[in-house]
Amino acid sequence: MESIKDIHELSVEEAIRNLQSSKEGLSKEEIERRFSSFGPNEIQEKRATPLYFKLLKQFLNFFAILLWVASGLSFLGEYLAPGEGNINLGIALIAVIFINAFFTFYQEYKAERAAEALKMLLAPLAVVLRDNKEQEIPSNQVVVGDIIILSEGDKVPADARLIEQHELKVNNSPLTGESISLKRDIGPFKGNILESHNIVFSGTTVVSGSGKAIVFAVGMGTEFGKIAGLTQEIKEDPTPLQKEISYFIKYISIIAIFLGITFFLIGWYLGNTFTANFIFGIGIIVANVPEGLLPAVTLTLSIAAQKMAKKNALIKNLNSVETLGSTTVICTDKTGTLTQNEMTVKKIFVNDKEIDVSGVGYAPEGKLHIDGNDIAEKEIEPIIPFLRTSFFCNDSKLILEEGKYSIIGDPTEGALLVLAKKIIDTDKTCNLEERIFEIPFTSDRKMMSTIYKGGKVTAYVKGSPESIISLSNKILINGKEIELTSKDKDELHEKAESFEKKALRTLALAYRPVAEKEKYVPEEVEKDLVFLGLVGLIDPPRLGVKEAVKKCKGAGIKIVMITGDNKLTAEAIGREVGIIESDAPSVIEGSEVTKMRIEELKALLSNPEIIFARASPKNKLEIVMALKQMGEVVAVTGDGVNDAPALKEADIGISMGSGTDVAKEAADVILIDDNFKSIVEAVLEGRAVYDNIRKFISYILVSNVPEIVPFIVYVLFRVPLPLTVVQILAIDLGTDMLPAIALGTEPAEIDVMERPPRSRKDRLLTIPLILKSYGLIGPIEAAAGLYGFWWVLKKGGWTWGTQLAFTDPLYVKATTMCLIAIIVCQIVNVMGCRSLRNSVFKIGLSKNKYVFLGIASEIILIFAFTNLPILKTFLGTASIEPELILLIIPFALLIFVVDELRKYLMPKLNIKDL
């Protein structure tokens, strides 16, 4: 088979011969041979990481390795000193590793399955001609040389060269980003194949008409496939949260190991036994490592992802939840994201009047109204010829489904039908005439005409204002045809220009009586026209987008519009939704970006208000790369295969739910409703997630202090160990877990969208947070634990210097009191951690019901630890008289008062946020 790369330059016969096919289609044997040669007509996805490998990774990360080592040391400790509970510790640590691994794996797997479910639709079908018979087959079975049959509404299954067409129009927006209908023909074309009018591309849609085409590329050989291949080559970087969690775990782990070794050496220096020092070293490490952190983070992200899904943002990668919250720049499409992707008539100029019809509709009592104002019947009468022409000179159809009209055909023509339908009863007014001929639109004439016969024959004409005005010699005013002077024509041209400056797609309408014997050709029909008026259409902004843009600006997020539309349209929509507000914004065309060096592009992107018009996919990718080099956290929206490289390159790629599979595959988030407003809601949730992670880190770190201090006391003062290592795990993986997760569900604080995005340099673990946890609240909890421990020992008759066995009832009761004291203090601490900046009274005591469930779980576990035999044996705990808990209440109240005082003083002392 010869080269087919220039197939658009060949005639129909040459193209068929070149592809060794025929107008009757391929034979069964040839199809099988070609399918074997070219493979299925599918976009090959990057080889997925096997599930078992993803699970295995959870057992081998830095955190897991640290716990494996600690577990091994625990078993060694049991071997060196049997019966001191080290075996329980070793088992518990291994359980922690497995819980972390399976929990994290399951949550990520669930998020991936949710995205996969969106793709599990019925396989698209294609109609082909094979052995001169029409067949409907799965589109992945289409082969090179197949003759595909295209009809209105079809999705093109492969790249193909047209061999027949009847008023065929296609929408190439999934490939080019421009949402306009393009007329196709079958003649040879010299130039870029992407601009060729005889080619239909895989993934694009047939807007109207019909045709046949011969396939010349399938699967990865299509234009879609080439871009998909480029997308798969882009390497994914870790998200900001992944980097932060990794930094936090390594930082805390290094501290834990350093302290463990340091105090082991101190104990050795003080003359303690090797076994005692060994237990001490393990205890220090376990006390410092937040074993419950990863499950808490994962579950928090999962809960936030579920919240986002309810707000129409489907999260594919859990870590993307927080990345949205740290976004500093959103690069957004215009069509379908900021706008409704639905052409609407905004203004008409008819009967010498300009009328805004964007609010046209029927009032409840049946009277016509525009923007809430009733229209008198006498005002409608003069515009009826204009509306009839909108209806007659039209190839679109309206279908009523569930009380709402849907458009079949060209969106612009559909908008004209909708306008006519709203103002006049087209079933009565427009059913007395029959179409007898049509002169289709051509790019040289820039108009189309339809000829109808009723009592008389009339041509209804629609086209560009310059073409229609130049061919008109009369204008209809108040039902009378008036001569059109040169001055009148100039004024009409000015009016059309005023529409265009408002970014309205402008058309002119006219009519002309046709003589019975007149030939139905453009030269005869399209002359001496009676001008009826102008119509201005626009794809209007979505409801709520303007408010969403305002929220973004208030949150310090810059919005950059990148569109395939022209400058005027881009700027008009940008102004309407609030992206640009200044008198001199930067509106740059893609061709200018192509000529720029990277430093020039960065300088341009530093402008506060900027829009890119006529931008190509390559331009979009260049803009994203430049923004990332500037240190921005970039979110990018897109729906077409052309957007996939930019979606993949961005920190957070956001695909439209109605977008192509390639775009969805490249994205991190899928917007089910295609609405920019949903992005802003997702940003809010992302910011709340980061805040909440810091809240439960603060909560978890506080309990580290009362877990560490008992071991220091044990070594330095040679007293019984106030808290065992297994009891530490009972706190970290038992009582602290549900309250920490509850903090992860805390609603976003009131001012979350009034703050600037967090810097890439910001850390989860800050000096103020460490001081609050280790220097303020933690020591109070440590004092409470030690006080409870000493109280029980003293009441039991213990004297200083007396060593107690690990199984001694007095020792067991004393350590239990220390454990319960820490848990009681953490109950109060969780309330304070609900906001690191605002008083608990300001945020509301009862806004987060899950915190109270967490507190209830702590109370239940206190009862279980002190009453259930199996837990008493495993943890080394004993029953405690309820009145002993009253000893801890003053410490708990002190924690509450101190934390509220801290929050009160912070802004007054101009102390930086935690």
Give the active site residues.
333
The count of C-alpha atoms lying within 13 angstroms of the C-alpha of 334, restricted to the half-sphere facing its C-beta, is 30
Total count of residues recorded for the chain: 914
Number of CB atoms found within 10 A of residue 473's CB: 15
- State both tokens at 118: 């969106």
d(CA 694, CA 682): 19
Q: Hey, what amino acid is at 405?
A: Y
Phi, psi of 373 (to 5 degrees): -100, 130
Q: Tokens 């003083």, residue? A: 905
Q: Which of 91, 100, 95, 88 is CA-nearest to residue 63?
A: 100
Report the Cα 659 to chain-centroid distance in Å: 12
DSSP characters for 800-848?
TT----TT-HHHHHHHHHHHHHHHHHHHHHHHHTT-SSS-HHHH-TTS-
Residue 42, by phi and psi: left (phi above 0), alpha (psi -120 to 50) or beta? Answer: beta
CB 571 within 8 A of CB 503: yes
3-class secondary structure, 472: strand
Question: What is the rounded CA–CA span in Å between residue 282 and residue 268?
Answer: 14
- Whole-angstrom CA distances from 97 to 57, 69, 297, 433 are 12, 11, 15, 79
Per the rule left: phi > 0, alpha: psi between -120 and 50, beta: everything else, 89 is: alpha
CB-CB neighbours of 799 under 10 Å: 7
Q: Find out whether 572 and 566 touch, Cβ atoms under 8 Å.
A: no
Tokens found for residue 606:
């530093």
CA 115 to chain centre: 12
**Cα 392 to Cα 552: distance, rounded to the nearest angstrom:** 45
Q: List all residues 6 or more positions away from 531 whose beta carbon is below 8 Å from its beta carbon.
A: 468, 469, 472, 474, 475, 476, 484, 492, 508, 510
Half-sphere exposure of 297 (CA within 13 A, CB side): 27
CB 311 within 8 A of CB 321: no
Pseudo-torsion of CA 204, 207, 211, 214, nearest 10°?
A: 0
Residue of 610, 634, 604 whose CA lies nearest to 621: 634
What does the block give as tokens for 523?
């030269």
DSSP code for 753: G
Amino acid identity of residue 124, one-letter, is P
Total Cβ atoms within 10 A of residue 285: 25
Q: Which two tokens stand for residue 13?
A: 């016969």
Rounded to the nearest 5°, which phi and psi values hold at 496? -60, -40
716-719 contacts at long range (C-beta below 8 A, 24 or more positions apart): 716/266, 716/270, 718/270, 718/272, 718/801, 719/800
Distance CA 733, CA 722 (A): 19
In 3-state terms, what secondary structure has residue 112?
Answer: helix
- Residue 554 makes CB contacts below 8 A (sequence gap 6+) with 753, 754
Contact assessment for residue 509 and residue 390, using Cβ atoms and an 8 Å cutoff: yes
**Structure tokens, 414:** 């559909």
